[in-house]
Amino acid sequence: MCGIVGIFARSYVNQTIFDALTVLQHRGQDAAGMVTCEGDRFFMRKDNGLVNEVFRTRHMKRLFGNMGIGHVRYPTAGSSSSAEAQPFYVNSPYGIALAHNGNLTNAEQLADEIFRADLRHINTTSDSEVLLNVFAHELQRQGKLQPTPEDIFQTVTRVHERCQGGYAVVAMITGYGVLAFRDPHGVRPLVYGQREVNGQIEYMVASESVALDTSGFERVRDLAPGEALFIDSEGGLHIKQCAAQQTLAPCLFEYVYLARPDSIIEGISVHHSRMLMGVKLAQKVLRERPQHDIDVVIPIPDTSRTAALEMAHTLGVTFREGFIKNRYIGRTFIMPGQTLRKKSVRQKLNPIASEFKDKVVMLVDDSIVRGTTSKQIVQMARDAGARKVYFASAAPEVRFPNVYGIDMPSATELVAHGRSAEEVGEYIGCDWMLYQDLEDLKDSIRELNPVIQQFDTCVFDGQYVTGTVGQEYLQRLQDKRSDQAKANSDSDADSEDAADDLHTRIN
């Protein structure tokens, strides 16, 4: 999971990109990066850390230019080394910088092709660098000293033909302009907007509409699956469909957990979709236990609050805030390693005992992934004096890994993999486990935009929309993503830390 932004303006864009990345920080807390362009020169700053840690005043002063791209990242199948921070850059042809959100499922095959046939070198394990080199090679094949927008769109067409997976991309070509495009299934979100400054139009593309809102850009629309947008160096806007076949299948998990509630994705308010998730959870309660004994509904902050409030309202039950969140702890399900994850939960949440004592409590979370967090939260509720603890998930059972850019664990580490809802409830220690039905979750989105008929639901049902994901790939992914694999990787990386620190001080 990552956040991306691209801007063309009439003045320096470094501060606007900084602000946009800060708004998108929830999409990536591992690393941040920015590349700007002035004339025929790129200026880059990237490193591990939060946005306000990576970009200091001394860095911002060196980021010249009226167009640029930015990125915040969580590691997916790659490592968390600073070498993986984006954007990536190649100097041929022209000079190209690129950042992307998503994951290429044929990255290993492409890397081999790039080396053997394209005669290009890949320096990291990041599929973003693979994607950049595919794009650069295909653009070079156009053989133009000065590429036209049509040349660039033809290059994107070739990228779609070669690359498999889910991806939303921003790129910049030195002296020519800013490019953005989306995979033919539209799995990962990408929206563009514009604003008028002194009678001239400026453009921004970003992962979520909140980045546009906070910088004064008016949202125009989401890029369609397979579509590309190019803003030339004079500010001309060019848009073209570059995929031979397209099917809109946005990721359901964006609405459940990933996106900010004040974002609009595919014309749908994320906040309103979460309200409907709460309503549908309540309706399931009334179907299964019309004579329920719930005294209070308590959300597990923050993402589930909207669904929990609507659930309580529909049931006619009291809603209360029962947990206080430490906002200086990251999003736990993506944290590497179970030891760190377990420790962070107790640091992240603390119960208000009076809201639990002698009550039948319905806890509501957006989803359950590993179950580690949920198990500890249920125990917290019991320790605070709850008479019974029920647990509701606004999402269905997460049983399969995501291959399109979310670093969920391997299938064997997912608590619902191979377990029924009742067995998950026993594992986390609750008295009643309630999951959202998949069709109800889909309807929470469809009711707000009936045009969307298909979704990326792979984490819930194992159906991968690209049709190119087999068991061999999933096994390789499991070998990379398991906690043991990450622990081994972290151990290997420790020996490199001293050299990395020295490099940082020198720079």
Model confidence pLDDT, tens digit, residues 451-472: 999 999 999 999 999 988 888 8
- Domain regions of the chain by residue span: 3-247, 270-327+343-460
The residues, ordered by sequence, that sit 6+ positions from 31 with a Cβ below 8 Å of its Cβ are 46, 47, 48, 49, 54, 71, 72, 73, 80, 82, 84, 85, 86
Nearest Cα to Cα of residue 183 among 404, 470, 449, 462: 404
Model confidence pLDDT, tens digit, residues 206-263: 999 999 999 999 999 999 999 999 999 999 999 999 999 999 999 999 999 999 999 9
Q: What is the mean pLDDT of residues 431-438?
A: 98
**Cα 92 from Cα 303, distance rounded (Å):** 43
Q: Kindly tell me if the per-residue pLDDT of 496 is higher than 50.
A: no
Three-state SS annotation for 79-114? CCCHHHCCCEEECCCCCEEEEEEEEECCHHHHHHHH
112 is in an annotated binding site: no
Q: What is the mean pLDDT of residues 172-201?
A: 97
Q: Kindly tell me if the per-residue pLDDT of 193 is higher than 50.
A: yes
Model confidence pLDDT, tens digit, residues 94-143: 999 999 999 999 999 999 999 998 889 899 989 999 999 999 999 999 99
**Cα 332 from Cα 371, distance rounded (Å):** 11
Q: What is the mean pLDDT of residues 360-384?
A: 96
303 is in an annotated binding site: yes
pLDDT confidence tier of residue 487, bands split at 50, 70 and 90: low
**Cα 389 from Cα 406, distance rounded (Å):** 30
Q: What's the pTM?
A: 0.90
**Cα 143 from Cα 241, distance rounded (Å):** 22
366 is in an annotated binding site: yes
Q: What is the mean pLDDT of residues 304-315?
A: 98
Q: Kindly tell me if the per-residue pLDDT of 501 is higher than 50.
A: no
The residues, ordered by sequence, that sit 6+ positions from 281 with a Cβ below 8 Å of its Cβ are 307, 311, 364, 392, 394, 434, 436, 440
Q: What is the pLDDT of residue 407?
A: 82
For residue 226, the SS3 value is coil
Q: Which residue has the tokens 């369609």?
A: 224
87-101, 183-197, 407-421, 439-453, range with the lowest pLDDT: 407-421
Nearest Cα to Cα of residue 294 among 390, 431, 374, 430: 390
Q: What string of DSSP letters covers 192-224?
A: EEEEEETTEEEEEEESSHHHHHHTTPEEEEEPP
Q: Specify the CATH number of the domain 3-247.
A: 3.60.20.10
Q: What is the mean pLDDT of residues 315-333?
A: 82
Model confidence pLDDT, tens digit, residues 66-77: 999 999 998 654
Q: Kindly tell me if the per-residue pLDDT of 500 is higher than 70.
A: no
CA distances from 184 to 79, 104, 138, 217 (A): 27, 13, 18, 26
Q: For domain 270-327+343-460, give the fold.
A: Rossmann fold (3.40.50)
The percent of residues in the chain predicted with pLDDT above 70, rounded, is 90
Q: Kindly tell me if the per-residue pLDDT of 316 is higher than 60.
A: yes
pLDDT confidence tier of residue 78, bands split at 50, 70 and 90: very low
Q: Which two tokens stand for residue 412?
A: 């064997």
Q: Kindly tell me if the per-residue pLDDT of 438 is higher than 60.
A: yes
- Active-site residue, 2 included: yes
Q: Which amino acid is at 188?
A: R
**Cα 95 from Cα 67, distance rounded (Å):** 14
**Are the beta carbons of 4 and 199 closer than 8 angstroms?**
no
Q: How many alpha carbons fall within 13 Å on the CB side of residue 443?
A: 11
Q: What is the pLDDT of residue 74?
A: 83
**Are the beta carbons of 96 and 136 closer than 8 angstroms?**
yes
pLDDT confidence tier of residue 488, bands split at 50, 70 and 90: low
Q: Determine the longest span between alpha carbons in the chain, in angstroms.
A: 75
Nearest Cα to Cα of residue 71 among 30, 15, 40: 30
Q: What is the pLDDT of residue 84?
A: 87
**Are the beta carbons of 173 and 95 closer than 8 angstroms?**
yes
**Are the beta carbons of 394 and 364 closer than 8 angstroms?**
yes
**Cα 413 from Cα 478, distance rounded (Å):** 10
Q: Kindly tell me if the per-residue pLDDT of 502 is higher than 50.
A: no
- How many Cβ atoms are within 10 Å of 337's Cβ, its own excluded? 13
